[in-house]
């Protein structure tokens, strides 16, 4: 399994850094929802689910964490540690987020509103 990594164009100059994210351009879908995970307690892992239809792109805009993706056959760990690099997480991908640094802010773009019925939370059913 080869996860799709998205490189955002850094638009910084000598004042600092800037990244612009546009639906259908840097993100390969229409963004319907944005959420962020921050101040994750030490040693906590999150996720433990897949989605039936949802597409998401996750970016550690501060700090770092690991995104472990499992398509049912292969498991790949994608280190997220750059505000200019995201990982695309499509449907049918079991994900676990771990190794959150204290300062990690994980920003996630999604192509649909929150819908509990789109979740698969039972690994055996997955
Ligand atoms: P959860 O799915 O457990 O987060 P993760 O899989 O990243 O560990 O979500 C935590 C809570 O937040 C849960 O009650 C559902 C709610 N939630 C929303 O209301 N909207 C959202 O967009 C997300 C991602 C979660």
Residue 13's pLDDT band (cuts 50, 70, 90):
very high
For ligand 1, atom 7, name the residue with the nearest CA: 47
113-124: average pLDDT: 97
| Predicted TM-score (pTM) of this structure | 0.96
Do the beta carbons of residue 1 and residue 76 sit within 8 Å? yes
Instruction: Write out pLDDT tens, residues 32-74.
Output: 999 999 999 999 999 999 999 999 999 999 999 999 999 999 9
46 lines ligand 1 (CB under 6 A): yes
Which among 24, 20, 40 is positioned nearest to 106, based on CA atoms? Answer: 40
In sequence order, what are the residues at sequence separation of 6 or more whose Cβ sits closer than 8 angstroms to the Cβ of residue 23?
29, 30, 31
SS3 51: strand
Tell me if residue 113 is catalytic: no
Query: Phi/psi of residue 112, each to 5°?
Result: -155, 160
Cβ(50)–Cβ(91) below 8 Å: yes
């Amino acid at each position: 399994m080869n996860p799709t990594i998205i490189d955002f164009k850094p638009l910084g100059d000598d004042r600092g850094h800037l990244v612009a994210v546009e639906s259908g351009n840097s993100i390969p879908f229409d963004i319907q929802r944005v959420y962020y995970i921050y101040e994750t307690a030490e040693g906590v892992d999150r996720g433990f689910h897949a989605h039936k239809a949802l597409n998401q792109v996750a970016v550690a805009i501060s700090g770092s964490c690991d995104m472990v993706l499992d398509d049912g056959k292969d498991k790949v760990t994608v280190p997220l540690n750059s505000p200019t690099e995201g990982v695309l997480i499509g449907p049918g991908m079991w994900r676990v987020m771990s190794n959150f640094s204290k300062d990690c802010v994980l920003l996630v773009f999604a192509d649909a509103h929150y819908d509990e019925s789109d979740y698969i939370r039972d690994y055996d059913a997955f």
